[in-house]
Structure 1
Amino acid sequence: MAAVLLLAGCQSGPTLQSISLDQAQGSAQNLSSLTEAVTANPRNPEAYNVRGIAYGRSGENQRAIDDFTTAIQLDPNFYQAYANRALVLRQLNRNPEAVADYNSALKINANYDSAYIGRGNIYRIASRNREALSDFQRAIDLNTTDPRAYHNRGLLYQLDGQHRQAIEDFSTAISMDANAPEPYSGRAVSYLALNNVEDASDDINRAIQLDGKRAEFWANQGIVLEARGDKTKAYRSFAHAAQLDPNYQPAKDGVSRTRGSAGS
């Protein structure tokens, strides 16, 4: 049972809510005023970087890339702009280009924790786990305050069956950002793997409270409920997960396992 949950839980990593474009001061500003700033000072790389952040947050990805590119052309040592462009490229699944930008940022500033975390997450998703672990560890050694480093290292520990270490990392991520749901879901996976059903239940319920629209969280709740012997409620959780994402295999598998309990 825990092995099934592990498969579902390991998919929770890539979208940790605290992922953000660097220098987030640009996100709350009006695009028109940012454009005025660019027009007033067209040689200022920071103006393009901040507007690029705003474009990225509004989903105008190509405009964001163009602004970050201009910022880099104006200041080739602007490592934050490289990392910001990398994040947008990653969101577009242009991962080799994103890695190249993270590499460029780190050549300029070898102590830039956000670039290690961003590159490490690309490596983790690509199953380049040793390289990913090295990047997350480097960010942690730099005393990062970004919870993504601990969350993603926790996912790697979890994948390796090192659940106690994973729980420690998820707990650290939660202490840094108590409102990000993914570490709660991740920690629930490892708690259940250690047969700690009560704490697993508390954590997955908290993840759903924070974000009730994630199929993987509802599927994980279903598996926790199965472990508690409550197949009727488990079926409801799996069915809700399948409704949220009809293609999510752990939800479909859970519905198949518990369907006979739906009316009991």
Structure 2
Amino acid sequence: MSRLLPLLILCLGIPVTLAAQPPNPNDPFAQQKMQADQAQQQGDHAKSIELTSQILQQKPDDHVAYYLRASARVESGREKGNTQSIREGIGDAREAIRYSQNQNVNYYLPYLYGMMNLAVMENKKSHAETALNVANQILARPNLTAEERANFHYQRGMIYLPLNKPQDAAKDFSETIKLQPNHFAALLALPDAYALAGNNEMALASFNDVVQKQPNSPIVYNNRAMFYQQQGKLQEAVNDFSRAIQIDPQYHHAITNRGFAYLEGGKPQVAEADLTQSLSIAPNQPFVLGMRGEARLLQGKIDQAIADQKQAVQLDPNNAALHSDLGFSYYFKQNYPEALAQFNLAAQQAPEQMKVLNPWIYMAMVRSNQKPAADAKFQSILSQKPESRDSVDTILAFLLGGITEADLLKSIDLKDPKRAKAQTCEAHYFIGEKALLAGDSAKATQNFQQTLNTNLKNLSAYRGAQYALKKF
């Protein structure tokens, strides 16, 4: 199983502060609405929701309050991964549109943004398709101002992304920039769309253009750095992350991302320092705690790694990847019952994604004196035809005694060199594990060393071999 952590990608929501309508001097709630808007701009979504809810208790048909609360609820839901909050925001946007008698086109923005985020978070293209239809209807209106048209091109571009249409997205972002050359959200989104479309040359040119237009923005350098990292240009990535941090030393996203770049570049000690700095600025980051646990694990600091990973799962108990990471650390520490418990939680939360854990679950059960139960759990693998098994099933068939060591090594897909190397790493690790169970420590050591020879440090099998041989 790959241990690479995803990049921390930054995105912007509703692109600019939008005044729903000019302040009405006769509006008794004007001051509260201004405070709610300011709170939203400052990222205090809870305060914005509280203020607008107070207004709506007294004036249930106030469409401006509905609009402001819609924006706050959608942004809050996106940040927290809370789809219910996003749905409530979408509902508020609908109410704003209804009570305004469809007179303010800006009220559609939190609706579209909310639907796009639901499409991503729930992996349902139907949400994006619904939003796309609405965006098309809005853009067909002849009386939009240049600013309104720019914002709806931007939102439609964002909607195209979960529909896997990055080229269409790039066209909309480009149109936004034509209408508003300094539209910051579109400037950031355009190079990402080019990259998703596989046009790396245009992506880099677009990133460079943003850097020229916004040379004092840490987000700009952070995002170009992430592009460099995805291209395998780690030094260029580190340079840009460092520039972002130089501009804003409290910008913990860039500090985290630089830590990941160092981790990917084989510098876990330096990575740990960056991740610790990020956590000192924003302590409750389960993703970052898990990543620091990874950095510590690479250095042989297994107890500290487990402490980080336990805190991460406490903060985000429904994250299958964090549970699996904690399970691996327990496994390497030879606490097999705890490893099994974490693997099972991960498998329950994400059955398809976590199928890769099955060989580890089998071994954790065997090492927890549950071999009959382990054999029974995975016995159906042996009835499969060899050609229908994937690499995970093939490893299980070997552990169950259904195929030989030679069969396992012969099953490696040599047509794909990268895949073959990963399968070789994992095959030798589990050959070593099975040899240990049989009491053949010399054979186990030989195979663990072959695992390390692949140098695939992002794989759990590699990590397991490190701990088996105590080589860090």
TM class, shorter-length: 0.7 to 0.9
Aligned-pair CA distance for 1:104: 1.0
Change (3 A) 1:62 1:171: farther
The C-alpha deviation readout for 1:92-128, integer Å capped at 9, x for no partner, is: 1111111111011111111111111111112122222
Amino acid at match of 1:77: N
Change (3 A) 1:159 1:179: same
Classify the secondary structure of the residue corresponding to 1:89: helix
Distance 2:158 2:218 in 1: 22
**Aligned partners of 1:219 and 1:251 also within 8 Å:** no
Distance 1:243 1:208 in 2: 25
Classify the secondary structure of the residue corresponding to 2:159: coil
Q: Which residue of 2 is the match for residue 103 of structure 1?
A: 242
Unmatched runs of 5 consecutive residues or more in structure 2:
14-154, 161-168, 382-391, 397-410, 414-418, 438-472
Distance 1:248 1:24 in 2: 39
Q: Which residue of 1 is the match for residue 304 of structure 2?
A: 165
Unmatched runs of 5 consecutive residues or more in structure 1:
1-7
Q: Which residue of 2 is the match for residue 21 of structure 1?
A: 9
Classify the secondary structure of the residue corresponding to 1:50: helix
User: Of 59, 79, 82, which residue of structure 1 is paired with 2:218?
Assistant: 79
Distance 1:234 1:254 in 2: 19
Q: Does 1:217 align with 2:205?
A: no
Q: Does 1:139 align with 2:139?
A: no
Distance 2:203 2:324 in 1: 32
Q: Which runs of 4+ in 1 moved over 6 A?
A: 241-244
Distance 2:206 2:291 in 1: 29
- Between the two proteins, what is the percent identity of the paired residues? 21
More deviation, 168-177/85-94: 168-177
Q: Which residue of 2 is the match for residue 3 of structure 1?
A: none
Q: Which residue of 2 is the match for residue 89 of structure 1?
A: 228
Distance 1:251 1:218 in 2: 13
**Aligned partners of 1:223 and 1:254 also within 8 Å:** no
Distance 1:180 1:57 in 2: 26
Distance 2:324 2:202 in 1: 34
Q: Does 1:256 align with 2:431?
A: yes
Q: Which residue of 2 is the match for residue 239 of structure 1?
A: 394
Distance 1:59 1:71 in 2: 19
Aligned-pair CA distance for 1:216: 5.8
Identify the structure with bigger relative contact order (alpha carbons < 8 Å, sequence gap 6+). Answer: 1
More deviation, 92-101/156-165: 156-165
User: Of 196, 213, 228, which residue of structure 1 is paired with 2:335?
Assistant: 196
Change (3 A) 1:66 1:215: farther
Q: Which residue of 2 is the match for residue 4 of structure 1?
A: none
Equivalent residues, number? 248
Change (3 A) 1:221 1:62: farther
Amino acid at match of 1:49: L
Q: Does 1:34 align with 2:173?
A: yes
**Aligned partners of 1:167 and 1:191 also within 8 Å:** yes
**Aligned partners of 2:395 and 2:430 also within 8 Å:** no
Aligned-pair CA distance for 1:151: 1.1
The C-alpha deviation readout for 1:216-258, integer Å capped at 9, x for no partner, is: 6344334323423537468965625888955334531255365
Amino acid at match of 1:22: L
Distance 1:255 1:197 in 2: 16
Name the TM-score, length of structure 2 as normaliser.
0.46
Distance 1:58 1:234 in 2: 41
Aligned-pair CA distance for 1:191: 1.8
Distance 1:57 1:181 in 2: 26
Aligned-pair CA distance for 1:193: 3.6
Distance 1:53 1:132 in 2: 25
Change (3 A) 1:117 1:89: same
Change (3 A) 1:255 1:195: closer
The C-alpha deviation readout for 1:186-233, integer Å capped at 9, x for no partner, is: 211222244432221122233345263568634433432342353746
Distance 2:178 2:334 in 1: 60
RMSD, aligned CA: 3.4
Aligned-pair CA distance for 1:41: 1.6
Aligned-pair CA distance for 1:142: 0.5
Amino acid at match of 2:428: D
Change (3 A) 1:91 1:222: farther
Aligned-pair CA distance for 1:178: 4.2
Q: Which residue of 2 is the match for residue 5 of structure 1?
A: none
**Aligned partners of 1:154 and 1:169 also within 8 Å:** yes
User: Of 277, 288, 295, which residue of structure 2 is paired with 1:156?
Assistant: 295
Change (3 A) 1:143 1:50: same
User: Of 368, 371, 390, which residue of structure 2 is paired with 1:228?
Assistant: 368
Classify the secondary structure of the residue corresponding to 1:21: coil
